[in-house]
Homo-oligomer: A and B are copies of this chain.
Amino acid sequence: MEKAIEKLIRSGRKLTRPRLAILKFLSHQHAPISAQTIHDKTGIDLASVYRTLKLSEELRLANVEAMGNEKRYCLAAEPHHHITCRKCGHSETVRCNHVTEGLGNFTDISHQLTITGICDKCRK
């Protein structure tokens, strides 16, 4: 999280109370989380949450993934992904097998990977 704050400041943006609260909250999660949830748990205005998340994505402080129709974010630590149970939502970390190799024609690559399945507790 320190790294994220540093990047934020180096980008010339202000380190505001809402931004700090959101980054701090994210740093305590182990599974990717939605804007709505961040709003619910921190009380920060939903529009501001969205603004901070979008900025965090641009500055690569956080990574996004698509769950159904909503986006979920987690702090960008070492490259990793998640697999999430479609029944109970339980989420585990997955090593990032360099999905973006051999893409020579393209630069400034960013990727977003969503993996779902049924976890052992949920299969009968």
Contacts and interface: CB of A to CB of B under 8 A. Distances in A.
A92 B105 CA distance: 10
Interface in A109-124: 109-120, 123
Contact of A111 (B71, B105, B110, B114): B114
A110 to B, nearest CB: 6
B113 A99 contact: yes
Interface of A: 66, 71, 81, 83, 85-86, 92, 94-95, 97-103, 105-120, 123
Given A106-B118, A113-B113, 11 more contacts: A66-B114, A81-B99, A83-B106, A86-B108, A100-B115, A103-B117, A106-B120, A109-B115, A109-B116, A110-B116, A111-B115
